[in-house]
Amino acid sequence: MSELTRGEVQGILQDIFRTVFGNDSLVLTDTTTAADIPGWDSLQQIKIILACEKRLNVRLRARDINGLGNVGEMTSHLFAAVNKSSRKSDRGT
Amino acid sequence: MATGSSELNKWIQAALGLRVPGAHEGEVDPIVAALKRMDLLAVDGLKPLRVRVLGNVTTDYLADHLKLMLLRSGFGASVNAGQYGGLVRGLLGDVDLGPENCDACFLILDHRDIQFPPPIGSTAEEARALVQREADFWISLIERSRVPTVVMGFDMPPHRILDEQDGLAPGGLGWHVRSINQQLASRLPATTAIVDAEALQFRVGAAKWLDQRLYHLCKQPYSMDALPEIAHTLVAALAGLLGRARKVLVLDLDNTLWGGVVGDDGLQGIELGQETADGEAFANFQKYVRQLAGRGVILAVCSKNREEVARAPFREHSGMVLKEEDIACFVANFEDKASNLRHIARTLNLGLDSLVFVDDNPVERSLVRSELPEVMVVEMPEDPAHYVHALDSAKAFPLRALTREDLGRGASYRTIAALQEASAESGTDMDRFLSGLQPVAHVEAVDASTVDRIVQLIRKTNQFKLNLSIFSEAEILAGARDVVAIRLADRLQDYGIVAIAVTVPGNGILRVANWVMSCRVFGRRLENVMLETLRTNARSHGCTMIECVHTPTEKNVILPPILRQLGFESTGESAPWRRSAEGADPQPHYMTIIDRRLK
């Protein structure tokens, strides 16, 4: 996968939020939390992270997924994982 | 409201348009997410169904996929997932699994729920005793459900402490799991169906089945990717249980049963048989189809060909596994396939929702999908090597238990088709045709040997059915003296028990609480035999009147004219249909009647 910016990762996260909550005008910021979006519970959160993992072709650790409190943290963890995996694939080539 | 319903419609269409098998997760996920938010219980054209899911694992994600798969089977369902860990507690009474609360339920068993695992070093005898104990425990729990129930049997544990012995020898946990599943399959009551979880694991693939990380996160052991297949399998079993199993496999010919086009390539030009890889694949597919026919799936042909050209391979090609006599209804012409499928359904006296359509041509499939959404269209791969897999994994013909009726079904539908053709040809003498079949009606004893079939037939019948009331085995046995069960046999075959009336005599009236007749014997005048038997019973109870409790449904529209013909009259829509137990005899039926009831 070519390098993604942190903003692009958050864009993908936003896409998935929109699908899961059926709201095409949903806008995420780093400080968005479960309190801001009705229906965002722990099961939905896991579903969202898993969908992101698949889209970005990365895998987080269970303890990282559990600890994610807001959109900023979700984005950062996913972004870090993307970078790590693309560095790995750079080394591979 | 208007935008709301168009939104709903859009997602329902998207769900019905999914090609299963073959849909990608990317297509499924948004539909699952959208349907989750929508109320499908009151959608026109869908059968409302309130469903509970109970498991000790988290079943919330599974419930969302069940809602989608139920929709694809014609149900507008609400799916209520129980609490994590709520299986045993729920069955013991936290959740009332009765018809007041739900119409059906799914029980998800998991190897982690095993109560009596064999300790390492158990003797074979000890291991068998533990299986017995385990099975007794679960069966007594599952029997508490009072609605149609699909049980997902125990899955195989992912790790095998006793290595290769674990699943094969008494004392292994895998062996314990396999043995319990077999016990459940043979001992659960007729209102339940069991899904073989090990086979499901095998289809999904071990790597995709278990997601240990997800289990630690939220107590769902299955990976998200496994959910569509699990839901598909569970819903197929429920559809079978609720009498919605499909019955007919409609096959295209060119490039479906053989390679090439017989009209262009000629009889010897088609590819079929052991000489080539494709030829072998087509023969293999035919073999699978023939085995399906052997267990009760009715076969029909729908081909764009001249009829004699289409029939030639069946008669003359040495590589053909299927024979003309395997096909109950053979249609080869140049009409469009949607019209021909309607014709096949009419000829076999079945609804379009009984048909499964298999055609290599994506244009034909897409035409049938849009013209006849009731027909299940199997997404066929391009390579015939994968035909068997595609049809098998569509799970179109769920089977709870193989019955004698299943084994004879093909022959009885060939008779139906012959009957239809005879009545369509002017100048055919119907009376002579019917009596030439030498039919015998056996009025059967209602006891332990027949009660399963009686309960099943009442539940599964849709068309010739007075009303929606169903009965448990216990209810049938308790009123056995006043239940009439008729088995039909003729010189061609034995159809098994095909007509039932449940009656309650009292106050001079023989009330018929329900009366069903299998569509396989429509047109055989068996209803006349039933009326004759009911009249005799009524008189023996001192009743002068027979009364039918009829509730019109979408599917039993054929009844009023038949009742009228039998001499019943009704004073209004919801009024019962009555006729005297005396009076003139009904029309002739040409049947010998043998009473097998205990006197």
Digit-coded pLDDT (tens) for B512-543: 999 999 987 888 889 999 999 999 999 999 99
**Alpha-carbon distances of B429 from B412, B414, B426, B432, B435, rounded to whole Å:** 20, 19, 9, 5, 10
Count of beta carbons in the 10 Å neighbourhood of residue B541: 18
- Residues in chain A within 8 Å Cβ distance of B61: 43, 47
pLDDT, residue B534, reads 93
**Subunit contact B217:A65, Cβ cutoff 8 A:** yes
**Subunit contact B29:A22, Cβ cutoff 8 A:** no
State the virtual CA torsion across B119, B121, B123, B127 in degrees, nearest 10: 20
Chain length of chain B: 599
d(CA B357, CA B375) in angstroms, rounded, equals 7
Give the domain range for residue A67: 6-85
Tell me if residue B199 falls in helix, strand or coil.
helix
pLDDT, residue A93, reads 40
Provide the strand spans (E) within B199-297. 248-251
Average pLDDT over residues B198-203: 95
**Subunit contact A46:B217, Cβ cutoff 8 A:** yes
Chain length of chain A: 93
**Alpha-carbon distances of B144 from B81, B140, B191, B454, B486, rounded to whole Å:** 18, 7, 11, 22, 31
Tell me if residue B149 falls in helix, strand or coil.
strand
d(CA A33, CA A55) in angstroms, rounded, equals 22
Amino acid of residue B323: K
pLDDT, residue B289, reads 98
- Res. A92 pLDDT band, cuts 50 70 90: very low
pLDDT, residue B425, reads 63
Find the closest chain B residue to A23 by CA distance.
B34
| Interface probe, candidates B216, B218, B227, chain A, greatest A C-beta count within 10 A | B218
Question: Percent of chain B scored above 90 by pLDDT?
Answer: 63
Two tokens at B124? Answer: 């074979």
| Interface probe, candidates A15, A17, A23, A43, chain B, greatest B C-beta count within 10 A | A43
- Cβ–Cβ contact A42 with B under 8 A: yes
Residue B213 C-alpha, separation from nearest chain A C-alpha, in angstroms:
6
Binding-face residues of A in 4-33 toward B, CB within 8 A: 19-22
- Res. A15 pLDDT band, cuts 50 70 90: very high
Q: Which of B534, B544, B533 shows the shortest CA–CA distance to B512?
A: B534
d(CA B204, CA B234) in angstroms, rounded, equals 13
Average pLDDT over residues B17-37: 81
Average pLDDT over residues B122-147: 95
* Contact in structure between B121 and B166 (CB atoms under 8 Å): no
Q: How many CA atoms lie within 13 A of B396 on its CB side?
A: 30
Residue A52 C-alpha, separation from nearest chain B C-alpha, in angstroms:
12
**Subunit contact A47:B61, Cβ cutoff 8 A:** yes
d(CA B111, CA B156) in angstroms, rounded, equals 7
Q: Quote ipTM for the complex.
A: 0.89
CATH tag, B248-393: 3.40.50.1000
Residue B571: is its pLDDT beyond 90? Answer: no
Find the closest chain B residue to A39 by CA distance.
B37
Q: Which among B34, B60, B217 has the least Cβ separation from residue A66?
A: B217
- Cite the residue boundaries of each domain of chain B with CATH code 3.40.630.30: 438-595
Tell me if residue B331 falls in helix, strand or coil.
strand
Rg (CA), chain A: 13
d(CA B417, CA B347) in angstroms, rounded, equals 6
pLDDT, residue B557, reads 85
First CA to last CA distance, chain B:
64
pLDDT, residue B2, reads 38
| Angle in degrees, 0-180, between the axes of helices B124-142 and B173-187, rounded to the nearest 10 | 40
pLDDT, residue A36, reads 92
pLDDT, residue B156, reads 96
* Contact in structure between B166 and B174 (CB atoms under 8 Å): yes
Q: Which helix (H) or strand (E) holds B300?
A: strand B298-304
DSSP-assigned beta bridge partners for residue B376: B356
- Cβ–Cβ contact B401 with A under 8 A: no
Q: Which among A22, A46, A51 has the least Cβ separation from residue B218?
A: A46
B35-61 tens-digit pLDDT:
999 999 999 889 999 999 999 999 999
Residue B75: is its pLDDT beyond 80? Answer: yes
d(CA B408, CA A1) in angstroms, rounded, equals 58
Rg (CA), chain B: 26
Give domain B438-595's CATH architecture.
3-Layer(aba) Sandwich (3.40)
pLDDT, residue B431, reads 76
Angle ∠(B36,B40,B43) on CA atoms, nearest 5: 155
- Cite the residue boundaries of each domain of chain B with CATH code 3.40.50.1110: 2-241
User: Is residue A1 a part of any domain in this protein?
Assistant: no
pLDDT, residue B424, reads 66
User: Is residue A91 a part of any domain in this protein?
Assistant: no
d(CA B316, CA B304) in angstroms, rounded, equals 19
Provide the strand spans (E) within B379-461. 440-444
pLDDT, residue B203, reads 92
Count of beta carbons in the 10 Å neighbourhood of residue B255: 19
Residue B135: is its pLDDT beyond 90? Answer: yes
B246 Cβ neighbours under 8 A, 6+ residues apart: B353, B354, B355, B356, B376, B396, B397
- Residues in chain B within 8 Å Cβ distance of A42: 218
Average pLDDT over residues B20-48: 85
Find the closest chain B residue to A64 by CA distance.
B217
**Subunit contact A50:B224, Cβ cutoff 8 A:** yes
pLDDT, residue B376, reads 93
Average pLDDT over residues A15-25: 92
Count of beta carbons in the 10 Å neighbourhood of residue B261: 16
B2 Cβ neighbours under 8 A, 6+ residues apart: none
Find the closest chain A residue to B30 by CA distance.
A19
User: Is residue A93 a part of any domain in this protein?
Assistant: no
User: Is residue A68 a part of any domain in this protein?
Assistant: yes
Amino acid of residue A32: T
- Cβ–Cβ contact A37 with B under 8 A: no
Find the closest chain B residue to A49 by CA distance.
B214
Q: Which among B33, B214, B217 has the least Cβ separation from residue A19?
A: B33
B543-564 tens-digit pLDDT:
999 999 898 887 888 899 899 9
Average pLDDT over residues B450-465: 88
Average pLDDT over residues B378-392: 95
pLDDT, residue A65, reads 86
- Cβ–Cβ contact A65 with B under 8 A: yes
Find the closest chain B residue to A20 by CA distance.
B33
Could you tell me how many CB contacts below 8 A there are between chain A and chain B?
Answer: 28
Find the closest chain B residue to A52 by CA distance.
B26
User: Is residue A78 a part of any domain in this protein?
Assistant: yes
**Alpha-carbon distances of A26 from A42, A71, B89, B574, rounded to whole Å:** 19, 13, 40, 52
DSSP-assigned beta bridge partners for residue B358: B251
Q: Which helix (H) or strand (E) holds B36?
A: helix B25-36
* CA-based torsion, B382, B384, B390, B391: positive or negative: positive
**Subunit contact A20:B60, Cβ cutoff 8 A:** no
Q: Which among B34, B213, B214 has the least Cβ separation from residue A22?
A: B34
Residue B410: is its pLDDT beyond 80? Answer: no
d(CA A2, CA B142) in angstroms, rounded, equals 53
pLDDT, residue B428, reads 58
**Subunit contact B60:A42, Cβ cutoff 8 A:** no
| Interface probe, candidates B10, B32, B64, B224, chain A, greatest A C-beta count within 10 A | B224
B145 Cβ neighbours under 8 A, 6+ residues apart: B91, B97, B105, B107, B191, B192
What homologous superfamily is domain B2-241 in, according to CATH?
SGNH hydrolase (3.40.50.1110)
- Mean of all residue pLDDT scores within chain B: 90
Two tokens at B15? Answer: 């769900």
Residue A19 C-alpha, separation from nearest chain B C-alpha, in angstroms:
6
pLDDT, residue B86, reads 82
User: Poorest-confidence range of A5-19, B249-263, B391-405, B408-422?
Assistant: B408-422
**Subunit contact B33:A20, Cβ cutoff 8 A:** yes
Average pLDDT over residues B344-373: 92
**Subunit contact A65:B30, Cβ cutoff 8 A:** no
User: Poorest-confidence range of B286-290, B356-360, B373-377, B409-413?
Assistant: B409-413
d(CA B188, CA B138) in angstroms, rounded, equals 10
Q: What is the DSSP letter of B191?
A: T
What CATH number corresponds to the domain at position A57?
A: 1.10.1200.10
B159-192 tens-digit pLDDT:
999 999 999 999 999 999 999 999 999 999 888 9
Q: How many domains does chain A have?
A: 1
Q: Which of B139, B264, B261, B118 shows the shortest CA–CA distance to B191?
A: B139
DSSP per residue, B306-323: -HHHHHHHHHH-TT--S-
